[in-house]
Amino acid sequence: MPKTNSTNKAVSSYRLSLEGIRQLKTLATTMGRSESDILEVALDRMYREEVRFNRMVREGSQEKDQYKVDLENEENNERNRSFD
């Protein structure tokens, strides 16, 4: 993703853990990019991975294709996915 300083981007606010903030600041400093750019790159990478491995709803997909998380049995979430 290109470096941009666009005023055309929407402004959003999110709550991050202290560890998340530390990681964000470290990445921004190390990579010489803004914190906003770091979040945008991280989101883009995660999105592409989810699409690549078909773990998220794609346009026109069916209910069974949705990525579901079982909070009670978190360690088996991927193992228990149905591929009907």
In a domain, 71, yes or no: yes
Q: 0.85 exceeded by the pTM?
A: no
Contacts with 4 (C-beta within 8 Å, 6 or more apart), sequence order: 37
In a domain, 63, yes or no: yes
In a domain, 83, yes or no: no
For residue 62, what are the domain limits? Answer: 18-76
User: What's the total number of domains in the chain?
Assistant: 1
In a domain, 82, yes or no: no
In a domain, 9, yes or no: no
In a domain, 59, yes or no: yes
In a domain, 61, yes or no: yes
Percentage of residues in the chain having pLDDT higher than 70: 60
Q: Could you report the per-residue pLDDT of 30-74, keeping only the tens digit for each?
A: 999 999 999 999 999 988 888 888 776 565 455 555 556 666 776
